[in-house]
Amino acid sequence: MKKFTFILILVIPQYLCAQGFLKTKAGKIVDESGNEFLFKGIGLGGYLVPEGYMLNMSGFANSPTEIKNKIRDLIGTEETEKFFDEYRKNFVTREDIDSLNAWGFNSIRLPMHYELMTPRDTPYVYIEKGFAIIDSLISWCKPHNMYLILDLHAAPGGQNSGNISDYDPNYPSLWESNDNKLRTIDLWRHIAQRYKNEPTIGGYELLNETNWDLGANNSPLRQLFINITKAIRESDSSHIIFIEGNHYATDLSGLTPPWDFNMCYSFHKYWSEVTESSISAYTTIRDNYSVPLWMSESGENSNAWFTEFISLLNNKKVGWHWWTYKKFESISSILSVPIAPQFQQLLDYWNGHRSKPSKDFAITALRLQAENLNIKHCKVNKDVLDAMMRLPYDDSNRPFNENVIPGRIYATEYDYGLHNKAYHDKVYENTGNGAYNSGYSFRNDGVDIEKCSDKITNGYNVGWIDNGDWLKFSVNIIKSGTYDVYFRIAAAQSGGKIQLQLDNNGLTNLIDVPITGGWQNWQTLVYRNVYLPAGKHELVARFFFGGFNVNFLEFKKSTTKAEKEGTLPQRFDLMQNYPNPFPARGGRSAPTTTIKYSIPAVGDATPQNAGASPTNVRLTVYDILGRQIATLVNKAQKPGNYSVQFNPKNLPSGIYFYRLQSDNFTETKKMLLLK
């Protein structure tokens, strides 16, 4: 199957080109030339602070320490350290940064674990492992003028009680230990001393997602931030200091007014309505104190939500970083990491579904999975990139695939585009009410997609279809003519109805979907004699009533065996007018439509002797009250295929009917006039 090359066309304002140290000025982030700079970045979640849900391990291990302990129990401490070295080596490479730059990102947010710079059991002793990673990222970002923001994601003791800070309930948290606070301050002092002259560093995000009862005004948080700022400013006056609030970076109370000349407030936003009021508390702080604002983490939602929220942030001049870059077998991250079969066996063991593997097998499985983290093995979720990097600036539909008619069109390969413009799905984003998708396969829209077991498939089908859902496909019809449409469907219940439209005109009547005996018991439903004009068009599959699954549509020329042999039609046929409704919505041409019909041959009639058997036919038009308003044909005609133009002239908009009659045949179809 031929695929379109995915080309991302971006509108990149001047302020995306990085120049020197970033600074804050009059409520904005600016470069050294004074040009406003808005972050358009990605967070490297899972890289240095792995989380269970990113690795398909959330059923038995969620924090970095829990994950490491599970692996250590299988292969020992030494091999575990080797695995994580390989894990990090493959997770982010120069090719990853090159690709992110090519896709239009201008910055990277690096979630850091303190243990990679100062191990838990050796306070104030610093090692090179974590700093070498930062140095590599700097060297890869620098040629692209991309900024790197350092984010302390896991501080000594943990700044919240969750896996995201690697909190261990057997040890005091950051907020329960003065020693941990002092270690955190000194870590930032050390970082600042090392990178004070490095302009590729965009700034220091002091603590990620504190979540602790710190009193109504968050005084302990403010004081720690002030102490860290003082330690940084001992050697570094160049870099921006980014401040997040309490309660997972949603609550900035008590953290104003600002205490530093080069400071920016940051917030996170997940699973909420996308409205100006949803971020007004943060923009008000920016405006009142003339301090810049940054949305440093969001994501884990549908494409539609991504586009809506990024558009809002762009309109409000708020830079952003998205979460996250890579996850195992994921539709919502930019890259999806394939799971090696051997690693899946380890997951099955940890989930209690398989016996314990040998140490050698586990080492091999983990090595293979570490290799799969390399970008060359990952799948690029192009729909996610499109939702983030194109649609906020260009809301036109783009073809997912080169859909040619005659040919097969897979239901899952509908156009890239906005909700209600490229597709409609009843539940299409998570605004606090839970899931936005039932299948979580293939694409990250609200359209519910699952793996397909049909004998002909691209691997997936559209399922969980609700009343009123629809999908739009850009198609190229090679030749005008009459086609038969084959619907590949599966249904465990009755009541489903489909209609096809071309360029907003009805192409078929409502088609009943039969029970097939199961959601993966596939049958072919045929709708014959649809007229299609040549050229590029928009095809819409409308599901007026749901309760069934769709694998693909296939269009074949409507040629009977007799027609292939050069004989004439063997049956009467009255085809759906085209366009319908007519004229096409928004058109300015005269409201005309084409009606096609066939008159059958008798016996062994051929084009050469067709004149021997004419048939009296009558083609008439009626209004909705049954009043005849036009006679289009009323004469004897030879066997063959016919086409008639109907121009309603001064008739008003509305529903009309056209009827074909002969001595032993009558058929009526409905059409809609829109002026």
- Which residue is it, tokens 């729909």? 383
CA distance 535 to 545: 30
Query: What pLDDT, on the 0 to 100 scale, is given for residue 664?
Result: 82
For the entire predicted model, the pTM comes to 0.87
Model confidence pLDDT, tens digit, residues 43-89? 999 999 999 999 999 999 999 999 999 999 999 999 999 999 999 99
Query: What pLDDT, on the 0 to 100 scale, is given for residue 466?
Result: 97
- Please name the residues in contact with 650: beta carbons below 8 A apart, sequence gap of 6 or more: none
CA distance 333 to 538: 29
Query: What pLDDT, on the 0 to 100 scale, is given for residue 607?
Result: 45
CATH code of 568-673, in short, is 2.60.40.1930
403-558, CATH topology level: Jelly Rolls (2.60.120)
CA distance 535 to 15: 41
Helix H or strand E encompassing 112? strand 107-113
- Which residue is it, tokens 């998205």? 322
Query: What pLDDT, on the 0 to 100 scale, is given for residue 548?
Result: 98
Give the Å distances, CA to CA, from 551 to 450, 464, 486, 513, 558. 10, 12, 11, 13, 22
Q: Closest Cα partner for 412 from 402, 421, 400? A: 400
Query: What pLDDT, on the 0 to 100 scale, is given for residue 566?
Result: 54
Which of 338-352, 618-632, 648-662 is most confident?
338-352
Query: What pLDDT, on the 0 to 100 scale, is given for residue 2?
Result: 36
Query: What pLDDT, on the 0 to 100 scale, is given for residue 67?
Result: 98
Helix H or strand E encompassing 497? strand 496-502
Give the Å distances, CA to CA, from 424 to 387, 445, 540. 15, 10, 11
Model confidence pLDDT, tens digit, residues 76-125? 999 999 999 999 999 999 999 999 999 999 999 999 999 999 999 999 99
The mean pLDDT of the chain is 92
Q: Which segment of 100-104, 328-332, 549-553, 582-586 scores lowest on mean pLDDT?
A: 582-586
Going by their DSSP bridges, the two strands 628-637 and 640-646 should be labelled as unpaired
Q: Which two tokens stand for residue 502?
A: 């071309």
Give the angle 97-151-434 at the CA atoms, nearest 5°: 90
Contact 413, 400 (CB under 8 A): yes
Q: Closest Cα partner for 343 from 364, 326, 359? A: 364
Contact 311, 392 (CB under 8 A): yes
CA distance 222 to 84: 35
Contact 90, 374 (CB under 8 A): yes
Q: Where are the domains of the chain?
A: 14-47+92-338+378-389, 403-558, 568-673
Contact 411, 553 (CB under 8 A): yes
Helix H or strand E encompassing 219? helix 219-233
Give the Å distances, CA to CA, from 649 to 579, 590, 593. 16, 8, 12
Cα 606 → chain centroid: 55
- Please name the residues in contact with 588: beta carbons below 8 A apart, sequence gap of 6 or more: none
CATH code of 14-47+92-338+378-389, in short, is 3.20.20.80
- Phi (first) and psi of residue 95, to 5 degrees: -65, -35
CA distance 310 to 320: 8
The confidence band for 590, taking pLDDT boundaries of 50, 70 and 90, is: low
CA atoms within 13 A on the CB side of 412: 22
Q: Closest Cα partner for 148 from 234, 219, 239? A: 239
DSSP 160: B
CA distance 205 to 39: 14
